[in-house]
Structure 1
Amino acid sequence: MPEALTYVLDIDGNPLMPTRRCGKIRRLLKAKKAKVVKRTPFTIQLLYEPDTHVVQQITLGVDAGSKHIGLSACTDAKELYAEDAKLRTDVSNKLTARREARRTRRNRKTRYRKPRFNHRVHSKHKGWLAPSVEQKITCHLNVIRKVTKILPVSKIVIETASFDTQKLKAQLAGQKLPEGKDYQNGEMKDWLNVRDYVLSRDGYTCQCCKGKSKDNKLQVHHIHQRKDGGSNRQ
């Protein structure tokens, strides 16, 4: 976040342009012409109507992600706000623990109760989202609202992109970019399954000990689990 930058709200709570004039902010607070409404980031609200105030065009850029959200608000000349918001990644595990606790309780108290399929959420509410997905969407909206409360944002740009990994690998290797049926001729073509491909790719050598264990039987598994950001290639 920009250093020594104070965010300002007018008497009605609407955001104005931030300022770096710490001396003026100190005098306004001392004269009871402004009050502190938030300390992180430091935000004050004016208790009088200023004679003139100019609002510039501010663009808020949002880099949406599954674990982090990148935020940057800037004018044509300088950056006014920057943040790297971290999202929760424990929602799925907490739901699993809750489901197990409820299941054991039902087995103890209502052991012979028939399944009630009409009580399922997806059957009662159309357009229902998984709680982990809904939580991520809510967090994105909340961080955007937080910025718009302290800055007069005039435009919001959200970066959403899907990456073609096969095309990226071909571009880095200086090969022809795949088109159409080329996607069916990938590096796993003619292999029976992923296990055989991975073993051949790694030279039938353990990638953790690099063959020091001399184990004749190799187990195929993720070095970096998918829940920790790994992929099927690792």
Structure 2
Amino acid sequence: MVFVLDRKGRPLMPCSERRARKLLEQGRAVVVRLEPFVIRLKDRVAEEASLQPLRLKIDPGYEVTGISVVRVAGGKEVVVFFAEVHHRTDVPGKLLSRRQARRSRRSRKTRYREPRFDNRGRPEGWLPPGAVARVNQVLSVVGKLVRWLPVTEIVVESAKFDTQKLQNPEVSGVEYQRGELQGYEVREYLLEKYGRKCAYCGKENVPLEVDHVVPKSRGGTDRVSNLTLACRECNRAKGNKLPQEWLEELKNSGRAVDRKRAENIPKVLARLKEPLKAAACMNATRYVLVERLRALGPPVLTATAAQTKYNRARFNLPKTHYFDACCVGEVSGELEVAAGYVQVFRAVGRGTRQMANLDRHGFPRGHRARGKIHSGFMTGDLAVAEVPAGRYAGRYVGYVAVRRSGYFDLKDLSGRRVCQGIAFRHFKLVQRFDGWRYEKFKIAALSSPHLKVGASSAA
């Protein structure tokens, strides 16, 4: 599918790749951008065009958000476009790293200065930076689609996750006010839960320590479902390893205590509860996302997760983010899948604020250039490299990694480096970097009596 704009840059109905090629060959259209492919007609305005209602559906997710665009035609819905937004999950880790570097620097440079006391209140509607990033990424993609397609309505799944029910489906009434630690301190709760012995080696009558199964340095939380009891020897042996990493290490050991630990690690993991970090994030952002979507213009409707699940079962669709998106809200009549591929929008950010490169000991090993643009290119630009001779002779298309020297590297669209040290004069700019990576993949094969025959298979 190709996005089409009129002479004044306003969205028209999309067309097929074949029709877009003919329009370009006839000189009736010009290319606006390549990824995703957008053309502008030189002889058509929106008032003269026949526009059909398009409904944009969103299934928000913690790591991946599914998006679909359906054309409402009579008693059926035709899916014309699938997309997935792959969110950045490194925001909290990067903020923590920056905070630690600052604190380390100020403890060395301002030794006798009192730390700034955190007594400032958070404004109403405050969200953690990772959650804000997810909302902004969805808004960015939806904003692009609203500019390229004549969207008449937006439907977003805005279902609340019941974090208590996720842990205990039987919870109800006053039990919502009684957390699992009512009447217990955390340590006493763990002592009772694990029988007052080390969860890894089984030792009793020894001092026990509270251990984070997934270390906090690796993204773990203080939630009770991430805590267990360990003797000092086991706690030190585990260190900041993930359970799976430690288990692989123990399997190669011949010590009897390590064999015992290897036996007990799966038992410890089986007793842990499902982490609710994703559910908490979705709860926090659902209202904010809906309110900010309203500012884009088209009317916004909300739907529940139960509705999505019902529609997916009704049409016998695979459990994927993009198929979930086309099942959001009410789907009356038939569902026809005309899209053959999924457009991926992968958020990669716009670089780094860290100016010093570090060696493995943490000491500065050179500094980055202050400017991002070198010889007319910046890292992330989509470009064509035509290398006339040498080891990398040939024609390449991909993303540029620039150097101040003017000799650049190039990665293909999958992120694999294909050539390096190529002079800038052999590159031709195709599209400026905008903080996203664009990919495509074919949709999953479909087979359902409820889908239109011939439209249920991937193109």
TM-score by length of 1: 0.71
For 2:87 and 2:22, locate their aligned partners in 1 and report how far apart those are by CA, in whole Å. Answer: 38
Match of 1:73 in 2: 69
Matched, 1:18 2:4: no
Q: Hey, what does 1:140 align to over in structure 2?
A: 138
Q: Which amino acid aligns with 2:28?
A: K
State whether structure 2 residue 44 is matched by structure 1 residue 49. Answer: yes
Check conservation: 1:28, 1:34, Cα contact below 8 A: yes
1:10-48 C-alpha deviation (Å, 9 max, x unpaired): 1111111111261x3223212322111122322211112
Q: Distance in 2 between matches of 1:126 and 1:189?
A: 31
**Distance (whole Å) between structure 1 residues aligned to residue 113 and residue 172 of structure 2:** 55
Task: Specify the alignment match of 1:102 in structure 2.
Answer: 102
Is 2:80 the partner of 1:84? Answer: no
In the alignment, the residues of structure 1 paired with residue 42 and residue 49 of structure 2 have an alpha-carbon distance, to the nearest angstrom, of 15
SS at structure 2 position matched to 1:45:
strand
Instruction: Give the distance between the partners of 1:186 and 1:70, measured in 2 at CA.
Output: 33
Q: How does 1:208-219 map to 2 (within 5 A)?
A: 215-217=201-203
What SS does structure 1 have at the residue aligned with 2:96? helix
Size of the aligned set, in residue pairs, is 210
TM-score after normalising by structure 2: 0.39
Q: Would the aligned equivalents of 2:56 and 2:154 in 1 still touch at CA under 8 Å?
A: yes
Cα pair 2:14 2:149 within 8 Å, conserved: yes
Match of 2:32 in 1: 37
Structure richer in strand, relative to its length = 2
> Structure 2 CA distance, aligned partners of 1:34 and 1:231?
60
The one-letter code matched in structure 2 to 1:18 is P
CA distance in 2, matches of 1:121, 1:19: 56
Give the superposed CA RMSD.
3.7
Report if aligned partners of 2:57, 2:67 keep a CA contact under 8 Å in 1. Answer: yes
Classify 1:92/1:28 alpha carbon distance in 2 versus 1 (closer, same or farther; 3 Å). same
Residue-by-residue CA offset, 1:148-198 (whole Å, 9 max, x unaligned): 121111111111222336657887xxxxx654235578988888625634x
Partner of residue 174, structure 1: none
Q: Is 2:123 the counterpart of 1:126?
A: yes
Distance 1:189 1:100 in 2: 34
Q: In the alignment, is the contact (CA less than 8 A) between 1:188 and 1:194 conserved in 2?
A: no
Q: CA deviation at 1:129?
A: 3.8
Question: CA distance change for structure 1 residues 147 and 231 in 2, over 3 Å: closer, same or farther?
Answer: farther
| Cα distance, 1:90 vs structure 2 | 0.7
Shift of residue 78, structure 1, vs aligned partner = 1.0
| Equivalent in 155, 160, 168 of residue 153 of structure 2 | 155
Which ranges in structure 1 are unaligned for 5 or more consecutive residues? 172-176, 207-212
CA distance in structure 2 between the partners assigned to 1:231 and 1:34 by the alignment: 60
> Contact 1:8 / 1:150 at 8 angstroms: preserved in 2?
yes
Q: Which residue of 2 aligns with 1:180?
A: 173
The Cα offsets for residues 81-139 of structure 1, whole Å up to 9 and x where unpaired, read as 2112111111111111111111222223222234445xx7955x734543222212211
User: Structure 2, unaligned stretches of length 5 or more?
Assistant: 205-209, 226-272, 275-459
- Assess, with a 3 A threshold, how the Cα gap between structure 1 residues 113 and 167 changes in structure 2: closer, same or farther: closer
CA distance in 1, matches of 2:102, 2:182: 45
**Does the 8 Å CA contact 2:212/2:220 hold for their aligned counterparts?**
no
Q: 1:48 to 1:217 in 2, by over 3 A?
A: farther
CA spacing shift, 1:160–1:196, aligned 2, 3 Å:
farther
Most deviating of 162-171 and 129-138: 162-171
What is the distance in 1 between the residues matched to 2:128 and 2:171? 34
Task: Tell me the SS of whatever aligns to 2:10.
Answer: coil
Is the CA contact (8 Å cut-off) linking 1:224 and 1:231 kept in structure 2? no
Counterpart of 1:27 (choices 22, 30, 33) is 22
Percent identity, please.
Answer: 35
Residues 1:75 and 1:217: Cα distance change in structure 2 (over 3 Å): farther
Report deviation, 1:80.
1.7
